[in-house]
Amino acid sequence: MKLLILLVVVIGLVAIVQLAKVYQLTSSLRERREEDISEADNRLNGGLFLAFMVLFYASVIWLVARYGDYALPSASLHGEAVDTLMGFNMAIIFAVFFLVNTLLFWFAAKYYYRPDRKAHFFAHDNRLELVWTVIPSIVLAVIIAYGLSTWNQMTGAPADDALRVEIYSKQFDWTARYPGNDGEFGLSNYNLITPTNPLGIVTSEGLEASMAEVEKGIAKLEKELNHERGHLLAEQAELEEMLHGHDHHGHGDHGDHGDHGHAVDNSAIEARLHEIEALLENESALTILTDAAYEAKEDKLNRLKRHRQRLSEIAEFDYDGGLSAWTAGNDDRIVKGEFHLPVGREVEMVFRSRDVIHSAYMPQFRAQMNTVPGVPTRFKMTPTITTDSMRFITGDENFDYVLLCNKVCGAAHFNMEMKIVVETQEQYDAWLKEQKEYLVKEESEEAPATEQAVEVEESSEQITAQL
């Protein structure tokens, strides 16, 4: 089919070229120069300009009528403001669009070239300059001021009783976090991210466990590297060479080294040689690695050391109420797949990202915010229609609010979607109670923190790789 279309296009092009040749030939037969264009030609072209304008406008109007509107009523308080702002901007844009294009095509049609008519030329007109500088300036200033005031409404300080929810993005899913009874999110740090602590929430136990795990990894690697047979043999040979050189001190060409310092050096070298000998004798502890493997392990060791350094830099501090940032996370509730919001209550949303810039887009709430690694972003919104009501309004019983990623962030970008359920405060409270707290102490004595540290080695590597 595609081949057929291609064939038709190619043949069409060939036909046009041939027609042009025929036209050229007939003109030369009629002894008319090709540059001579009759008034009829000009009139035709002028008319075509107008025809094109009509078709152009028709297609634009059709597109706007067909696709230009949001399919759903806005479901948040500021959604109305956003829609009004959008309408205001589009009205200005369309007015300018029709004005400019009408002038463009209509002038082209009206003033097509006629030999008996002379164009009036003027180089400069101050009033004209003033008009087309001042009017757009005023219009733009109004658009900016109006837009900023709407923006400030959405990003201003939240109400005291506002609910807080953190939306966390990573390739390729969303996680929502609720701050728990203390109302504060626990501190989070990417160095503590593990499969069981995907947000990197900082707790004393988690930090200790991570540190212990990193120390263990460092010790294991250091032991492996220090017992590598090939490297021990090479070092032994090198040291013996040095000793050998000193033993034959005075013989040969390089005899004039100072004596005093070397006596000390020699004893250190000998001590190390004894050590190496002992290590080499203990064959069961020896490792044998290729150069590449040895280097890879060295890299890994350095990465772990850097990781240890960063872990040690995580500082403990208190939030305003005196709540420790390291314990605030214990009762945080972390949910995936879907998250719930109570209707009619202001929500302050805080956005974080682990890896790249994503964009949290909630089309029905007319809300969108980039999520940026290292820079938390936020806005507030108030959902006004519950999921159930919206299902009734749309007549679609399967309707759901969604959070989408609106930034092409990688291979599975299309898959970044999370369901949002808007419900009454009572339903929301009941749902939240079912979500388990991050660290539930009373349930068992074994701290989830130790689990969470498992595989810290691998995940820290992944993170370093991502950095």
The residues of the shown chain that bind Cu ion, judged by CB under 5 A, are 358, 405, 409, 416
In the complex, the smallest distance separating the C-beta of residue 194 from Cu ion, rounded to whole angstroms, is: 22
Pairing mode, strands 417-423 and 367-371 = unpaired
Residue among 325 and 409 whose Cβ is closer to Cu ion: 409
In the complex, the smallest distance separating the C-beta of residue 379 from Cu ion, rounded to whole angstroms, is: 18
Q: For 164-228, where are the alpha helices, taking DSSP H only?
A: 204-226
The b/e string for 403-421 (b: 16+ C-beta within 10 A; e otherwise) is bbbbbebeeebeebebebb
In the complex, the smallest distance separating the C-beta of residue 339 from Cu ion, rounded to whole angstroms, is: 17
In the complex, the smallest distance separating the C-beta of residue 86 from Cu ion, rounded to whole angstroms, is: 24
Residue among 83 and 417 whose Cβ is closer to Cu ion: 417
Residue among 346 and 417 whose Cβ is closer to Cu ion: 417
In the complex, the smallest distance separating the C-beta of residue 184 from Cu ion, rounded to whole angstroms, is: 27
Residue among 343 and 416 whose Cβ is closer to Cu ion: 416
How far is residue 250's CA from residue 248's CA, in Å, rounded to a whole number? 6
Give the helix/strand (H/E) hosting 453.
Answer: helix 448-453
In the complex, the smallest distance separating the C-beta of residue 371 from Cu ion, rounded to whole angstroms, is: 8
Residue among 352 and 358 whose Cβ is closer to Cu ion: 358
In the complex, the smallest distance separating the C-beta of residue 460 from Cu ion, rounded to whole angstroms, is: 23
Residue among 409 and 456 whose Cβ is closer to Cu ion: 409
Query: Do residues 178 and 328 make contact, with C-beta atoms less than 8 angstroms apart?
Result: no
Taking phi over 0 as left and psi of -120 to 50 as alpha, with beta for the rest, 168 belongs to beta
Residue among 287 and 377 whose Cβ is closer to Cu ion: 377
Query: Do residues 169 and 371 make contact, with C-beta atoms less than 8 angstroms apart?
Result: yes
How far is residue 302's CA from residue 463's CA, in Å, rounded to a whole number? 14
In the complex, the smallest distance separating the C-beta of residue 16 from Cu ion, rounded to whole angstroms, is: 46
In the complex, the smallest distance separating the C-beta of residue 368 from Cu ion, rounded to whole angstroms, is: 12
Residues 6 or more apart whose CB falls under 8 angstroms from that of 246 comprise: 257, 262, 266
How far is residue 351's CA from residue 360's CA, in Å, rounded to a whole number? 8
Pairing mode, strands 163-170 and 173-178 = antiparallel
Give the helix/strand (H/E) hosting 400.
Answer: none
In the complex, the smallest distance separating the C-beta of residue 407 from Cu ion, rounded to whole angstroms, is: 6
Taking phi over 0 as left and psi of -120 to 50 as alpha, with beta for the rest, 106 belongs to alpha
Residue among 105 and 168 whose Cβ is closer to Cu ion: 168
Query: Do residues 97 and 166 make contact, with C-beta atoms less than 8 angstroms apart?
Result: no
Residue among 353 and 452 whose Cβ is closer to Cu ion: 353
Residue among 300 and 358 whose Cβ is closer to Cu ion: 358
* Three-state SS at 31: coil
Tell me the DSSP string of 100-130: HHHHHHHHHHHT---TT------S--HHHHH
How far is residue 22's CA from residue 2's CA, in Å, rounded to a whole number? 30
The two three-digit tokens of residue 83, written as one number: 């829609």
CA-based nearest residue to 186, from 350, 418, 354, 370: 350
In the complex, the smallest distance separating the C-beta of residue 405 from Cu ion, rounded to whole angstroms, is: 3
How far is residue 347's CA from residue 89's CA, in Å, rounded to a whole number? 27
What is the Cα Rg of the chain in Å? 37
